[in-house]
Structure 1
Amino acid sequence: MPNTGRPSRDCHLCRQRRVKCDLARPACQRCIKYGAQCPGYRDQQELVFRNADPTAVKKRQKRQPLSQIQSPGTSETSSSSSSSSSSTADPAPLPVLKVTPNGEYVFDTSADLFLIDGGHCHAPTLSRPVFEHWTVHSVPIILNVYSNLDFVKNMYRDFADDGPLVWAAHLFSRTYVTNLQYPTSLYRDAHQETQRELSTYLGKTLSLVSEALKTPEGALRDDILATVWLLTNYELLVGSLSRTETLSPWHLHARGLYSILKARGTAPLYTNHGRMAFWPAFSMVQIQALVSNTECPPESEEWLNAIKASLQGHPGDGLGVAISAFIVKVCSVQARIFSLLRRRDFPAASREYPDLFDQLRTAEKEFEDWLESNPVGNHVLEVYAISLYHSAIVKAYRGIELLINFLTHYPPCQVPLEQLKEDRECCFRMAQDAAQSILEGVPRVLGPLSSGKEKSPKDVFDALRVIWPLIAVYVMSICRPEQRLAAEGLLFYIGRELGVRQALNTYPDQLTLPQEATEPLGV
């Protein structure tokens, strides 16, 4: 008996169980929910060509060929004459690809799709739309976003299976598309459905990563390192960096990157491939140290020395090593400062202040001397690296300012009040100069977007790289009001136009500190 109804596109198991399938690729969510392995879907040819009984075949054979069908209102003469000239007719446009609200891609069949047969153009109408689930495009979106990172491209080339990288791609891409498609709000049902879908992808990704890390070779796998790094970027898309608790997802993933780098050791850093995998992860680890006012990992110096030893023939890593070494010193200084402030230890703060201030100024001069001997260009990656350096400057001098404010309330302080006032003015000047450099560098990355250029997923990566420097300017009260206002405008643009929610969820510069650190005496 012929199948006279519309053929089902559900997976084999859902059709067998007679339940509705969500058509997700590579595996439907219903199968995942019930812990079953999704057997896949029918071949597209099977959906188009179906067996029929001999009677139906004879009926089709009696039908008039498409080339002999006359248009309404035309004669046989005009029909025959037009058929001879149809071979030179220009074909109509192909169907337009549209996206349905549930995330499926469908071809609009309102336009005619021409088929060439023996020199004649025919215009059959498609019997139904051609659907394709959005997950087919999640990996291409990721490759477009990170088109400047060979590390990511190599990962998806070498690990193009149903592993954690693929599920992380579904998670990141779905979040990115949702943020752009619904910039302010979602219908309640659509929002709930999206959240359920994202929860499934996140759970699957974390499960595969956890399972891999239980094996001895798990931490050595490049795809695991890349997956956890993608998870930190996903958290920026949803804006979790605004939550500074130690158990917030972004901080957990950043510490996970450190654990993986620690387990990998220095051996990979002597190879070009190993350094390509190291830098994105280590950059996120250092940002986490800056955000949380803690020291960088104790292995940082060992890692950077290993890269220095292999720099011959790879001068491009020199800037990264110099900036990373500076950030290591900044994080050490700020961690000591905030420890003193939280303990309200006035005597220790008075003793350590000269050394802390001198360490920061020395580290800054060492980097400036290196930069003078190794000038950098205006490449986007170099602009980002310098912006990260300037954000560390802003953060460091904000810490020194808080320590100076604190010491103004301690009469026995061994540093004279006039010297503290002078140092405080220096902190404001250095931080505000660095903030201005950040603001002037951002248009080199985002400038083409504001000029009306069509936005593409690869613009998201540029936005993710400048978001922390802009946040540093926006939340630090040591910067001038007009600088903070400019940073706020750029963050709002990134959040609304590029779908990076972190730009709209910046955390305020409000730390649990003694009142003396925020209100200086006699200044």
Structure 2
Amino acid sequence: MVNTGKPSRGCYMCRARRIKCDEGKPGCMRCQKSKRICPGYRDAFELKLRDESKSTKKKLNRRVHDHPNVTVINNRRDGLPETSPTFSSSSAMVSHSRNSSMSSVASRSHGYTTEVTHRHHSFTAGHMTTPLSQQASCYFLANFVLVPEAGTMRGYLDFVIPLLKQRNPPQALVLAFSAVTLAALGTRPNSKALLPTADLWYLKALKEINLALQNPKTASTDSTLASVMMMASFEQLTPSRMKVGGWSSHIDGAVAVMKSRTLEQWRTPVGKELFIAVRAHMTVHCIANSKPINPGVEWMGVIADDPIVQTFAAANLKMAQLRADNDRTTTLKVRSAENIEKVLKLLRRAESLDKQYLEWIKALPPGWQINTVAWIDGEVPDLSNSVVHPGRIDAYGEMWMAYKYNIVRGCRIFIWTTILRCVAWLGNMGDYRLTPEYTTASQICRSLIEDIVASVPYFFGWNRSIDPAMADRSNFACGEHDPTTVKPLAGIFSMWPIFAAASSDFASPSQRIFLRGRLKHIAEMMGINQALIMFQVWFASDLALSTTNKTRPNLYTPPSILLASVCL
């Protein structure tokens, strides 16, 4: 007998746990008290009782047969549409088909289980609502996929477009793209109900990627490598939902795929873009975690068409190795002649690399010029929620340029931290803050932090509708170009330099409050949850340091840069 009772309006979590929900907004208190993330509520349309008997489906199929131009999407029990996700770029509409035999998948996160009975909108003949998969695809392409101008390489994740335009794109790529697009849509405020389904797509994509990696014919293809990079993007958006360190594991996986590829695969346009993209992500990952560069890949073997990108990559690779050697060398306990020579060599390498970054900046073309457009006088109320900090405000030609500038600034802060650690080690327990190197480092690092702080209003669209100089002229893969809008990609581009600046001992208290507030904004309003873990790691470490400083003076410890090794 069919149950015609009143459908529950409770959240997905309470319904799965079979307990009464208080239906609080935006999330129920039961989830909050049990320290779970409330996944949200079903749409009002889903609460309506619908006749889904076989006879009704036969009638619907006959109507579709009579009207072949109408698309029907029937949700399966796992919440995935049976038809493929479609996305549109500026020049084409691409369709992807997907068939899966998996009957049940459960996603476990933060102590709860999302059952495979999660459902979304049902689109029937005559219903003009855009399919959810297409909404997610368009949203992701319009907010995260940056298309470079002709003759430049100022793109981001744009390698996925030609791969998805293939006649029959591989299953792993389609599922990985579906997972990350729905995650991007679901991390927006008031859209959290989509995340359980994004987790299901993620698990299905992982299964297909593992199958592709086990097949010698597909293990090293462009599509397989792109699928792994899509999984890394998923972890940037929702790292806490699946596992800690997920982003790192996917970057390591991409490096492993690269080691099995041939030179011929790197010579194609898509192959070159993939190489440069993986190299860029891997380098930031290694710098953040003081991890040595994997020697199994000739990282400078593929020459970027843009010399700015090539020289930038060369310096960053040296930076990553310097970070790794710094942790090994400046922790040596025996002050032997051999160890002293090692520390001196590390010091000279750091000074040389700092000069290399300065030369990179000097060689930039006029289009990279930074313009100061405003100055904020006096105090700013509620710094933690403000877009501006007292001082100057800078504008850039494109968001991609501002991102590269800030990466250099963050790296130079790390370089001077390395220099001071070397000076402290060589000083034989003397107060390193009395040395000339500390005075120089203080001046340079404070200036670098001010530069990062001055760039933040540009990333977050301050005064953009009034001042044309603050407009973002970036070109995204989908949607109308509006230079006044703020894209979530700005959060990805700005969070790591913000974290580096906020973690520096040379940042002022007001700068820390301001930058910490921006990390929280990136996580809560832009949907980049990796920034939230950075915020939590920084806050916990800052609290620990403040507690330590109350008990003993910190006279002989060189300045610390608290890295997000836990979350990255």
TM-score bracket for this pair, using the shorter chain length = 0.5 to 0.7
Q: Which residue of 1 aligns with 2:344?
A: 354
State the alpha-carbon separation in 1 of the partners of residues 513 and 422 from structure 2: 26
Q: TM-score, normalised by structure 2?
A: 0.61
Count of residue pairs the alignment pairs up: 406
Q: Name the aligned partner's letter for residue 254 of structure 1.
A: I
Superposed displacement of residue 285, structure 1 = 0.3
Q: Is contact 2:287–2:320 with CA below 8 Å preserved after alignment? A: yes
Aligned to 2:442: 428
- Partner residue, 1:25: 82
The answer on whether the counterparts of 2:265 and 2:271 sit within 8 Å (CA) in structure 1 is yes
Which residue matches 1:384? 403
Distance in 2 separating the partners of 1:282 and 1:484: 30
Whole-angstrom distance in 1 between the partners of 2:557 and 2:271: 53
Which range is displaced more, 396-405 or 330-339? 396-405
1:459-482 residue CA offsets vs partner (Å, 9 max, x unmatched):
122321222111212233343333
* Distance (whole Å) between structure 2 residues aligned to residue 501 and residue 159 of structure 1: 34
1:212-291 matches, cutoff 5 A: 212-240=212-240, 248-291=245-288
Given that 1:460 and 1:500 are in contact with CA atoms closer than 8 Å, whether structure 2 keeps it comes out as: yes
Match of 2:556 in 1: 521
Say what the alpha-carbon RMSD is for the aligned residues: 4.3
Query: Is 1:502 paired with 2:567?
Result: no
Q: Which amino acid aligns with 2:173?
A: L
CA shift, 1:10, in A, is 10
Q: Which among 453, 456, 467 is matched to residue 439 of structure 1? A: 453
Contact map agreement 2:170 2:223 (CA 8 A) in 1: no
CA contact (8 A) 2:350 2:419 kept: no
Quote how far apart the aligned CAs of 1:8 are.
Answer: 7.0
Match of 2:163 in 1: 155
Q: Which amino acid aligns with 1:389?
A: V
CA contact (8 A) 1:435 1:479 kept: yes
- Correspondence for 1:331 among 320, 325, 340: 320
| CA distance in structure 2 between the partners assigned to 1:6 and 1:22 by the alignment | 20
Task: Measure how far apart 1:248 and its partner are.
Answer: 1.8
Residues 299 and 5 of structure 1: CA distance in aligned 2, closer, same or farther (over 3 Å) = closer
Deviation of 1:501 after TM superposition, in Å, equals 1.3
* Matching of residues 131-146 of structure 1 within 5 Å: 133-144=131-142, 145-146=144-145
CA shift, 1:386, in A, is: 2.0
Does residue 413 of structure 2 align to residue 394 of structure 1?
yes
Determine the C-alpha separation between the residues in 2 that align with 1:25 and 1:457: 34
Distance 2:122 2:424 in 1: 59
Match of 1:476 in 2: 504
Give, as a single letter, the amino acid of the residue that structure 2 aligns with 1:422: P
Task: Give SS of 1:180's match.
Answer: coil
* Change in CA separation of 1:437 and 1:345 when aligned onto 2, cut-off 3 Å: farther
Matched to 1:255, the amino acid is D
Q: 1:198 to 1:346 in 2, by over 3 A?
A: farther
Look up the match of 1:104. 121
Structure 1 stretch displaced more, 24-33 or 488-497: 24-33
Question: What does residue 382 of structure 2 align with?
Answer: none
What does 1:145-224 correspond to in 2, within 5 Å? Answer: 145-148=144-147, 149=155, 150-158=158-166, 161=169, 163-182=171-190, 194-195=195-196, 197-224=197-224
Distance, in Å, in 2 between the alignment partners of 1:435 and 1:294 is 24
Deviation at 1:269, TM superposition (A): 4.3
Q: CA 1:328–1:132 in structure 2 vs 1: closer, same or farther (change >3 Å)?
A: closer
Q: 1:242, 1:451 → 2: CA distance?
A: 38
Structure 1 residues without counterparts, runs of 5 or longer: 12-18, 36-100, 108-125, 412-416
**Hey, what does 1:53 align to over in structure 2?**
none
Which of 341, 355, 359 pairs up with 1:365? 355
Structure 2 distance, partners of 1:468, 1:241, is 20
Task: Indicate if the aligned counterparts of 1:295 and 1:328 stay in contact, CA closer than 8 A.
Answer: no
CA distance in 2 between counterparts of 1:419 and 1:355 reads 21
Question: Do the aligned partners of 1:390 and 1:438 also contact (CA within 8 Å) in 2?
Answer: yes
Residue 136 of structure 1: how far off its partner (Å):
3.8
Residue 41 of structure 2 is matched in structure 1 by: none
Provide Cα deviations, 1:200-224, integer angstroms capped at 9, x if missing partner: 2112111111111223343431111
Instruction: Please name the residue that 1:55 is paired with.
Output: none
Give the match for residue 304 of structure 1.
Answer: 300
Provide closer, same or farther for how the CA distance between residues 419 and 281 of structure 1 changes in structure 2, counting only shifts above 3 A.
same
Aligned to 1:88: none
Aligned-partner SS, 1:250: helix
Determine the structure 1 residue equivalent to 2:310.
Answer: 321
Q: Please report the TM-score for the alignment, with normalisation by the length of structure 1.
A: 0.66
Q: SS at 2:443's partner residue?
A: helix
Displacement after TM superposition at 1:236 (Å)? 1.2
**Deviation for aligned residue 1:367:** 3.2
Conserved? CA contact 1:235–1:249, under 8 Å: yes
Letter of the 1:104 counterpart: H
**Aligned to 1:223, what secondary structure does the other structure show?**
helix
**1:241 offset after TM fit, Å?**
12
Q: What stretches of structure 2 of length at least 5 have no aligned partner? A: 1-52, 62-75, 85-97, 106-117, 148-154, 369-396, 472-481, 559-568
Equivalent pairs: percent with the same residue? Answer: 16
Measured against aligned partners, the alpha-carbon deviations of 1:159-189 in whole angstroms (never above 9, x if no partner) come to: 6546122212221122222221437xx6xxx
- Assess if the C-alpha contact under 8 Å between 2:291 and 2:324 holds in 1: yes
Q: Separation in 2 of the partners of 1:402 and 1:480?
A: 21
- Show CA shifts across 1:396-454 (max 9, x none): 3233334444554547xxxxx67972212322333332222223334333326976999
The 8 Å contact of residues 168 and 201 in structure 1, kept in 2 or not, is answered as yes
Q: Go from structure 1 to structure 2 and tell me whether the alpha carbon gap of 1:448 and 1:274 turns closer, same or farther (over 3 Å shift).
A: farther
Answer whether contact 2:354 2:415 (CA < 8 A) is retained. no
C-alpha distance in structure 2 between counterparts of 1:355 and 1:434, whole Å:
25
CA-CA distance at 1:505 after TM superposition:
1.9
CA distance in 2, matches of 1:409, 1:487: 35
Question: Deviations 1:356-376 (Å, cap 9, x if unpaired)?
Answer: 222112122133224323435
Secondary structure of 2:348's match? Answer: helix
Alignment CA distance shift 1:6-1:466 (3 Å): same
3-state SS in 2 of match to 1:399: helix
Partner SS state of residue 295, structure 1: coil
| Cα drift, residue 520 of structure 1 | 3.2
Instruction: Tell me how far apart the structure 2 counterparts of residues 242 and 510 of structure 1 sit (CA, whole Å).
Output: 24
Q: Quick one: distance in 1 between partners of 2:212 and 2:260?
A: 13
Distance 1:355 1:153, change over 3 A: same
- Relative to structure 1, is the Cα distance of residues 305 and 233 closer, same or farther in structure 2, using a 3 angstrom cutoff? same
> In 1, distance between residues paired with 2:58 and 2:170?
24
Does structure 1 retain, via aligned residues, the 8 Å contact 2:79–2:119?
no
Pick closer, same or farther for the CA change 1:409–1:106 going to 2, 3 Å: farther
Q: Which has the higher helix share?
A: 1
1:298 Cα deviation from its structure 2 partner: 2.5
Matches within 5 A, 1:7-156: 7=57, 22=79, 24-26=81-83, 32-33=102-103, 103-104=120-121, 133-144=131-142, 145-148=144-147, 149=155, 150-156=158-164
